[in-house]
Amino acid sequence: MRNPIDRVARWLRRKMMPAAFVPAQAPNFLDAYRLRRAPTSSELLAELKNTAWTCASINASACASLPPRLFVTTGAKQPPPRCATRRLEPALLRHLQAARPEIASQVVEEVTDHPIMTLFHQVNPMHNSFDLWELTELYLETVGSAYWLLDIDPRLQIPSAIWILPSQLVMPRRAPDSPNLVDFYEYRGQTLQQLPPNRVICFRFPDPRDPYLSGLSPLRACYEQVALMSEFAAMKRSIYDHTGLPSVVLTPNEPIGPDERDRLERLGQQKFARGGQGKALVAESSLSVTLLSQSMGDLAALADMKATKTDIANAFHIPLPFLVGETNLANMQAADHLHKSLAIVPRIRRRDEKLNEQLIPFFDPTGRLFFHSPDPTPANQMLLLQQEQSDLKHGVRTINEVRTARGMPPVTWGDKPMKPV
C-alpha cells in the first residue's frame, strides 16, 4: 500500500503551482467588434457538423488508428523485465532513440503482455480501445479538452476501468490561494459531483490565454466560419421551404370569380405536378402566360462558402485535397504526408506524453515503462531502397540485418558484410 500512496503524493506535488501564475479572467469575445461572446462547450458541440465534423472525424479516426505501443527499458544494473517482451526492429529502435535520447544507452524492448494492455483491450463495459482513442480526440478537436475518469482497484491500487467523460460537463476547480493546480473536477451531470484529481486524466490542446486549465480547440479557433456556414445553410433552407415565387403566372384577359380561379389552379397542379412538366395545356379562355425564373444560388455567396471551408480546413490542419474531388494521386499522396507530419504526429505525441505522465506511474513507479507511437508518416520507398543498396554495397549493413529489418528470418551466409567493389 505504501508505494501507490507515495506515487499519488509525488504526482500531486508535481501539480502544485503558485497562486500568482493563475491568469485573470479577461473578457472573451468572438468577433472583432466585441459584440458576441465566446461560445460555450455545448455551443461548440452543437456546431460539430458539415465541414467541421468532416475535419474533426478525419483527425480522430487517424489518431485512433495509431494506438500507442508499450516499451520497457533495461539499464546496466537493472534486472530484466518481468513481463513478456520482444526485440525491436532496427528501424523502430533508431526512431525511439532519436525521439528519446535518454534511452540511447539502454536496452529497449516492446512489451507484449501487461496489465495496462489488458486495461486498454476493454476499457469499460461499453468501449474498447479504439472507441477511447477516437472519442478522446473528438473532444479535443471540438472542446479543446478531454477527460478520463479512472476506476481504481481497491486491492491492487491500479486502474481497472477508464470512463470517458463528456468534456462539456467537466470543469476544473481551484480554491482561492490554493497551492494545487486543481483541487477537484466538477462534473455537472444528472447530479453535481466533485472528482478527485488523482482519478482524472486531462488531455488538452495548448491555450495561450490560459496555459494551465484551458484548451483551445480547432473548432473554437474557426467558430465564426463554422457558424457562418450554418447560418448560410439555414437561410437557404428557409428560402426553399418558404419561397413565394411560383413557376408560372396565368393572367385571364377578363375578370373571373374565385371558384374559376381555384379550378384553374387545381387543373394546373394536377396536370403538371410530379413529373408532369412538359405536357400541353389547352386553355378554355383567353389567358396570358408569364414564366418566372428564380436564381437557385448566388455565385458570390458560393465563393464565400468555398473560402470559409478553406479557413475551417486550415484550423483543423486538414489538406484541401481531402475535402474536394478535383485532385489526383500525386496531390493526395503529398496531402497525406503533410497531414500526418503536421497534424497527426503532434497529436499522438501529446497523447503519449500525457499517458506517460499520469497513467504509467500507477503500474510502474520505476519509470522503465513508457508509451510511444511510431512515426506514421509514409517513408520515401525509393530513397530507402537506394540507401539499403548503398549500405550493402559498401559493407555498412549485412544481409541478415536487412532481412531482420524486413521481418524475414536470417540465413547462414548473411552475417558477413559484402566486400566493397
C-alpha–C-alpha distance, residues 339 and 343, integer Å? 5
pLDDT, mean of residues 10-21: 55
To 10 degrees, the CA torsion angle through 33, 35, 41, 44?
-60
pLDDT, mean of residues 249-253: 80
Out of 70-79, 171-180, 229-238, 335-344, which region has the weakest mean confidence (pLDDT)?
Answer: 229-238
On the question of pLDDT at 218 being above 80, the answer is yes
Q: What is the DSSP letter of 256?
A: -
On the question of pLDDT at 246 being above 90, the answer is no
Report how far apart, in Å, the C-alpha atoms of 216 and of each of 34, 144, 209, 213 are.
Answer: 19, 5, 9, 10
Closest alpha carbon to 245 in 298, 295, 297, 292: 292
Give yes or no for a contact between 252 and 286, defined as CB atoms under 8 angstroms apart: yes
Out of 24-28, 78-82, 141-145, 296-300, which region has the weakest mean confidence (pLDDT)?
Answer: 296-300
pLDDT, mean of residues 397-407: 80
pLDDT, tens digit (0-9, with 9 covering 90-100), for 97-112: 888 888 888 999 999 9
Question: What percent of the chain is predicted at pLDDT more than 70?
Answer: 86
pLDDT, mean of residues 181-189: 92
On the question of pLDDT at 1 being above 50, the answer is no
On the question of pLDDT at 379 being above 70, the answer is no
The pLDDT of residue 143: 95
Q: What is the DSSP letter of 94?
A: H
Q: Residue 347 CB: number of other CB atoms within 10 A?
A: 21
Q: Residue 348 CB: number of other CB atoms within 10 A?
A: 25
pLDDT, mean of residues 408-418: 83
The pLDDT of residue 238: 77
pLDDT, mean of residues 172-189: 89
Closest alpha carbon to 269 in 258, 259, 260, 277: 277
3-state secondary structure of 147: strand
Q: What is the rounded end-to-end Cα distance, in angstroms, of the chain? A: 65
The pLDDT of residue 88: 87
Out of 61-75, 215-229, 343-357, 387-401, which region has the weakest mean confidence (pLDDT)?
Answer: 387-401
C-alpha–C-alpha distance, residues 182 and 350, integer Å? 20
pLDDT, tens digit (0-9, with 9 covering 90-100), for 276-295: 666 777 777 777 777 766 66
Q: What is the DSSP letter of 194?
A: E
Give the DSSP H/E element, type plus range, for residue 369. Answer: strand 369-372
Q: Is pLDDT larger for residue 294 or for residue 210?
A: 210
**pLDDT bucket at 18, cuts 50 / 70 / 90:** low
Q: What is the DSSP letter of 122?
A: B
pLDDT winner (highest mean) among 54-63, 237-246, 301-310: 54-63
Parallel, antiparallel, or unpaired: how do β-strands 369-372 and 248-252 relate?
A: unpaired
Q: Which residues of 249-282 are buried (b: 16+ CB within 10 A; e: fewer)?
A: eeeeeeeeeeeeeeebeeebeeeeeeeeeeeeee
**pLDDT bucket at 321, cuts 50 / 70 / 90:** very high
What are the φ/ψ torsions at residue 194 (nearest 5 degrees)?
-115, 115
Alpha helices in 273-328 (DSSP H): 299-315
Parallel, antiparallel, or unpaired: how do β-strands 192-195 and 200-204 relate?
A: unpaired
List the helix and strand counts (H, then E) for the chain. Answer: 15, 12
Give yes or no for a contact between 129 and 408, defined as CB atoms under 8 angstroms apart: no
On the question of pLDDT at 255 being above 90, the answer is no
C-alpha–C-alpha distance, residues 110 and 369, integer Å? 10
Cell of residue 339, nine digits: 497531414
pLDDT, tens digit (0-9, with 9 covering 90-100), for 132-147: 999 999 999 999 999 9
Q: Residue 331 CB: number of other CB atoms within 10 A?
A: 14
Q: Residue 47 CB: number of other CB atoms within 10 A?
A: 19
The pLDDT of residue 16: 57
Out of 47-51, 127-131, 321-325, which region has the weakest mean confidence (pLDDT)?
Answer: 321-325
Out of 39-43, 67-71, 128-132, 255-259, which region has the weakest mean confidence (pLDDT)?
Answer: 255-259
Q: Map grid coordinates 375578370 to a residue.
A: 255
On the question of pLDDT at 381 being above 60, the answer is no
- Give CA angle at 57 (240, 336), nearest 5°: 110
Q: Is pLDDT larger for residue 3 or for residue 256?
A: 256
Mean pLDDT of the chain: 84
pLDDT, tens digit (0-9, with 9 covering 90-100), for 40-82: 899 999 999 989 999 999 999 999 999 999 999 998 888 999 8
Q: Residue 171 CB: number of other CB atoms within 10 A?
A: 14
The dihedral through the CA atoms of 320, 324, 330, 336 has a sign that is positive
On the question of pLDDT at 158 being above 90, the answer is yes
The pLDDT of residue 383: 67
pLDDT, tens digit (0-9, with 9 covering 90-100), for 194-207: 999 999 999 999 99
Q: What is the DSSP letter of 128?
A: B
The pLDDT of residue 127: 93
